[in-house]
Structure 1
């Protein structure tokens, strides 16, 4: 059963009118991926793909975080970003 609070938080983040900045976007991306897919898998992108590499690294930092904890943190941070 999907968490409706989590989905509402995702919708809030996607609907932000003010750019929260790259650091916040990377953090939210990583939390979302950890919450929906678990630990990062696959090879780290090479230096020719700096965006993919940054996303991979941000997600990798959350390794071992449970999906429920990542969801709860995502919701809290989404609320803070939305004001």
Structure 2
């Protein structure tokens, strides 16, 4: 299987984990997914400065700037496999 297929499978597996990951891990999954599917975060940030969830998501994704889509996919796959145990 190619990396894209394995990534797609990992995305599906992330939705069927036995336990819901903690917020930090969820942010990591989100940011890796966004980096893998969209590349660098070039957005300004959330319009509502009191939307803290959107702010944390934006910041987590922005921290991955420069990481290749392939590397983000691999890190996402590795994290999901780790969470599956």
Q: Is TM more than 0.5 here?
A: yes
| RMSD, aligned CA | 1.5
Residue 28 of structure 1 is matched in structure 2 by 29
Aligned equivalents of 1:78, 1:19: Cα separation in 2: 12
Q: Could you list the runs of 5+ residues in structure 1 that have no partner in the other structure?
A: none
Aligned length, in residue pairs: 83
Residue 49 of structure 2 is matched in structure 1 by 47
Aligned equivalents of 1:78, 1:68: Cα separation in 2: 15
Q: Could you list the runs of 5+ residues in structure 2 that have no partner in the other structure?
A: none
CA contact 2:35–2:64 (8 Å) conserved in 1 = yes
Q: Secondary structure at the match of 1:3?
A: helix
Residue 17 of structure 2 is matched in structure 1 by 16
Residue 6 of structure 1 is matched in structure 2 by 7
Q: Secondary structure at the match of 1:24?
A: helix
Task: Please report the TM-score for the alignment, with normalisation by the length of structure 2.
Answer: 0.91
Task: Please report the TM-score for the alignment, with normalisation by the length of structure 1.
Answer: 0.93
